[in-house]
Amino acid sequence: MRAPSRWFSLRFPLTPGRWGRGRAAFLRGLLAGLLCGLTVAGAAPAQSPFQIELRLLGRPLTAGQQATVREAARQVSGLIASPFVPVRVNIPAGDCDRRLPAVQGTVRNLIVFVVVRDLGDDVYATGMPCDLQDRTYLPIYGVVDLNSRGLTDLPRVDLLDTMLHELLHVLGVGTLWEADSRVSRNGETDGRSFIRRDGRSLVYTAPRAVAAYRALGGRGRGIPLDPDGGHWDGRAVCAEILSGSAGNFTGRVNPVSPVTLAALEDLGYRVNLLAASRYALPRGSCAAQLRDGSGPLWVPTGGFAGCAAARSAGATLPLRRGEPAYRPELDGDGDGLACEGGR
Ligand SMILES: [Zn+2]
């Protein structure tokens, strides 16, 4: 088994059947990276009015992993200041994902199934909402698939970071941004799209996140997105919880920026503004974000081209095996230390 070198987040292409209830559209498949950062700042209220109810399925997690998954749910719950609106449902087993059991009766919290299973070598976690409430188009329940491969070796911070990212997808960030995906239980859509094409690229245009982006000094008519349309362009935000840079992995938990918090508002949640992490948009390159001390190390997709690039980005040399920036190609003698002597 190959140890994961990088954490990805993937939204599967969804068939109408998978979404059920005539959901006509599917979300584009996508591959997106994840990874890194600071902690989610801890100003969340002790008891958020919004709770995420976890249901663990599949291969068992260790007690420590379960605690980390619950911590992620607690932190994401703490971002939301509006209560979940209870709803009566009668959803058969396998409606959203064939592994899921039936969801019946009155749902009083956002239910998130966390399914631990083998996702292969390249995909480490996925997250998506399932049924949406009528009128509000907010999720009733959702699913996070967590790759059982490599989980044993995964540091706590990376599991926490991954779960925060995927739970935000379950809430709708990056997954409910297009009209095709915004279909409620009764089969209606509000027709809203938070995304538009700007030349060859996609930009996010919903007002609150755009305002937050501009307040941080961002420019342009929208927020640059990854080609998948479900993550901020990593070049624009560098290390951020919804950054799409696949190599953006620092071994710390990515910050939840005011931009991502405002994206939750665009979806219709009220948010706990105090819960945003310390965050600044990069001035210039992501490496510059590091040098001005406002963010963690940013590792480009595929790793640093060489030791000089790693050093100029601010990486501490030598790079040690297990660190995100480590690549065997930079470790000539294979002793687990790359760029020894700074080269
Ligand atoms: Zn993602």
Question: How far is Cα 268 from Cα 84, in angstroms, rounded to an integer?
Answer: 11
CA 218, 222, 226: angle at the middle one, nearest 5?
A: 95
Same domain, 214 and 108: yes
Ligand 1 mean position to 339 CA, how many Å?
31
Same domain, 25 and 152: yes
Model confidence over 43-89: pLDDT tens digits?
444 567 899 999 999 999 999 999 999 999 999 999 999 999 999 99
Ligand 1 mean position to 160 CA, how many Å?
14
Same domain, 179 and 226: yes
Do you find a cis peptide bond into 318, omega within 30 degrees of 0?
Answer: yes
Question: How far is Cα 23 from Cα 150, in angstroms, rounded to an integer?
Answer: 34
Q: Is residue 3 part of a domain?
A: no
Same domain, 185 and 329: no
Same domain, 213 and 333: no
Same domain, 262 and 314: no
Residue numbers of the domain that contains 298: 286-342
pTM over 0.85: no
Residue range 214-237: mean pLDDT, rounded: 92
Ligand 1 mean position to 270 CA, how many Å?
22
CA 206, 211, 212: angle at the middle one, nearest 5?
A: 110
Ligand 1 mean position to 126 CA, how many Å?
7
Model confidence over 283-319: pLDDT tens digits?
777 765 555 444 455 565 566 777 877 766 666 677 7
Kindly state the helix (H) or strand (E) to which residue 131 belongs, with its residue range.
Answer: none
Paired strand residues for 198: 201
Same domain, 290 and 271: no
Same domain, 294 and 211: no
Residue type, 257: S
Output the average pLDDT for the chain. 80
Domains identified in the chain, total number: 2
What percentage of the chain reaches a pLDDT higher than 90?
Answer: 55
Q: Is residue 306 part of a domain?
A: yes
Tokens representing 89?
């449902």
Model confidence over 178-203: pLDDT tens digits?
999 999 999 999 999 999 998 889 99
Among the ranges given (205-214, 225-234, 317-326), the one the predictor scored with the smallest mean pLDDT = 317-326
Q: Is residue 195 part of a domain?
A: yes
Q: Is 114 helix (H, G, I), strand (E, B) or coil?
A: strand
- 334, exposed or middle or buried, with CB in 10 Å at 0-12, 13-18, 19+? exposed
Q: Is residue 1 part of a domain?
A: no
Tokens representing 257?
């920026």
Contacts of residue 313, Cβ cutoff 8 Å, sequence gap at least 6? 286, 287, 290, 297, 298, 299, 304
**Among 242, 275, 308, where does a domain finish?**
275
pLDDT band (50, 70, 90) for residue 221: confident
